[in-house]
A and B are shown apart, each in its own frame.
Chain A
Amino acid sequence: MSGYSITEASPRQKWIAGLLVAAYTIVTLVPLFWIVATGFKSPSDAIAYPPKVVFEPTLEGYVNLFTTRTRMNPDQLEELGPPQTWYDRIVRQYDMVISGPSRFGERFLNSVIIGFGSTFLSIFLGTLAAYAFSRFKVPLKDDLLFFILSTRMMPPIAVAIPIFLMFRTLGLSDTHLGMILLYTAVNISLAVWLLKGFIDEIPREYEEAALIDGYSRFQAFYKVVLPQAATGIASTAIFCLIFSWNEYAFAVLLTSGTAQTAPPFIPTIIGIGKDWPAVAAGTTLFLIPVMVFTILLRKHLLRGITFGAVRK
């Protein structure tokens, strides 16, 4: 077979490869598509058989997700007068009135606070440690680095028991601060390893030039190295945020109300009357930030996941 080259595929091969990958992608996307679509169905359309692909979209699921409602008898409803807003009208179809906001908004906000708080802290501490490991002679450097990585092997449930007891003693259970510290501890191993890879790639000469110019080490670090490491820091932050955003085990074991994030909360929506569109609406809203990040930062994903093993 002369003239064959594995490095440059023939047009026919490319065509077949493209077709197969596209087929896999479409199959993979069906569950995601289904989540989004179910969020816009009415409860009866959601459980119709055969499953409905074409349906009349409604915001009922979203209204139900964000509100709590009470059933009223028709006489009482007469007295209230006509519904004032579009969401009142949706709820009124079922002889119900909105009695207040649901807890979804609160839980979502908790996810934002804890997610971003722990990401900021992991990046802050992780960058400092990674810089030190990359540039200085730290005693027992390799052992410390391995120790940092090994903390990720611990099953969350295994450490959850003493953390539960420890947080109870310190008054940290079910608090935002407690969850931020916990997620930071889990994320920091990844942050240090990824960031060390990025900082290793910045030539030392830049800092040495700054030092000759009369900068202190610290000034050289934040005026020269930090700007150079910005893209690496950004992609590491995404990985930390994705973890804190999605974490469930610690959240369900260590929080009950005040600091509970969305992942333990969304499954409880189904308990309220098998309302699949509301569950789907909550799931969709929760997935959107991560999806947007993934698409915006796709260039950095591959490098981040492989610890910078791929060089262009």
Chain B
Amino acid sequence: MTHSPIERVAFATPPAIASRARGLSDRALAWIFVTPTIALLLAINIFPLVWTIRLSLTNYRANRANAELEWVGIRNYTRILTDGDIWLSMQATAHFLIWTIVLQVAIGFALAWLINRKFKGNDLWTTIIVLPMMLSPAVVGNFWTFLYQPQIGLFNYVVSFLTGIDPSSFSMIGDVSLAPWSIVIVDTWMWTPFVMLICLAGLRSIPDYIYEAAAIDRASPWRQFWTITVPMVLPFLMLAVLFRGIENFKMFDMVTLLTGGGPGSTTELTSINLKREAFEKWRTGYSSAYAIILFVTVFGLASIYVKALNKVKQR
């Protein structure tokens, strides 16, 4: 870009002069630019949320048109919180959340740490590694049912090849004790690259001179790892955990198609449980209360977590 005299003046011009340009005022333009977005979000996120709160206080059923609304107060809420089913699905969700986060953080960080060695072809490998997270969770879940088939599936074949266990003796998605692990495996396969990318961003944000200074101080590589690498990557890692936590708390598509919540209710995560109440049993009022409880849980946990994250960042 060549610098004409007028540009040189412009570069030195304080914004106050520039804002006296002709046309719409900045204030009007700001409103015109922001309003559509806010309007859309109010219509499709906030209005439904308020409506859900309203419905949660009634016994409305969406499949019975024109049915009378009857106000039931907080009865839906008390019924859910005393119902054993919700606690079972909370347990299934907690198992899923904890294991996916542990595995994805461990593997994702290790991969990022290795890729950061800048070996030959690391860009190519990084591109290929991220492919699973770009795919549709529903379609992927559907296809993994094929890989998990006891007689014909590739997964069972590989396991039996490595361990000698009879491949038809176990079914990942049909067995009560294995089903929770079947969803953990697929989720880890899909989303480890995401954690890896964020860790890689963290590792690349560490300036080299810090390590150089530490090396001059004769800090051992082990010491450098724990006093420089880990603390500097921690905010990024916590961000990755936040994103994965929120996503997996809402998890619906992949698990629905993989196990459908079964066998029994061993993999019935809260969203799957909620979908059953809302769109199979059509207990709209009851499921609205359920939805609000879940939303408050996510929002509450996320807020506490974000506070902790900000503390770590400020250190």
Contact = CB atoms under 8 A, between A and B. Distances in A.
B52 A147 contact: no
A128 interface: yes
A264 B62 CA distance: 22
B51 A305 contact: no
B13 A208 contact: yes
Contacts of B71: none
Interface in A115-170: 125-126, 128-129, 131-133, 135-138, 144, 147-148, 150-166
Given A5-B215, A147-B41, A267-B142, A129 B34 contact: yes
B224 A217 contact: no
B287 interface: yes
Interface residues of A, number: 115
Given A137-B30, A161-B288, A291 B52 contact: no
Interface stretch (B83-91, B95-103, B176-184, B203-211): B203-211
Nearest to A242: B134
A172 B154 CA distance: 43
Contact of A15 (B119, B135, B137, B294): B119
B125 A25 contact: yes
Nearest to A139: B30
Contacts of A182: 44
A7 B51 contact: no
B159 interface: no
Interface in B8-63: 9-11, 13, 15, 17-19, 21-24, 26-27, 29-30, 32-34, 36-38, 40-41, 43-49, 51-52, 55, 62
B120 interface: yes
B198 interface: yes
Contact of B29 (A50, A136, A293): A136
Contacts of B229: 6
A72 interface: no
Interface residues of B, number: 115
A234 interface: no
A144 to B, nearest CB: 7
Contact of B136 (A5, A46, A164, A248): A248
A15 B118 CA distance: 10
A147 B154 CA distance: 45
Contacts of A14: 117-120
B128 A157 contact: no
A55 interface: no
A7 B40 contact: no
Contacts of A25: 125, 128-129
Nearest to B209: A7
Interface in A151-210: 151-166, 181-182, 184-185, 188-189, 192, 204-205, 207-209
A161 B135 contact: no
A296 to B, nearest CB: 10
Nearest to A184: B40
Contact of B139 (A135, A158, A208, A266): A266
Interface of A: 1-2, 4-7, 9, 13-15, 17-18, 20-22, 24-25, 28-32, 34-35, 38, 46-51, 125-126, 128-129, 131-133, 135-138, 144, 147-148, 150-166, 181-182, 184-185, 188-189, 192, 204-205, 207-209, 211-220, 242, 245-249, 253, 262-264, 266-267, 270, 276, 279-280, 283, 286-287, 290-291, 293-295, 298, 301-302, 305-306, 309-310
Interface of B: 6-7, 9-11, 13, 15, 17-19, 21-24, 26-27, 29-30, 32-34, 36-38, 40-41, 43-49, 51-52, 55, 62, 107, 111, 114-115, 117-123, 125-132, 134-139, 142-144, 146-147, 151-154, 157, 167, 189, 193-194, 197-198, 200-201, 204-205, 208, 211-212, 215, 218, 220-221, 224-225, 229, 236, 246, 249-250, 252-253, 256-257, 271, 274-275, 278-279, 284, 287-288, 291-292, 294-295, 298-299, 302
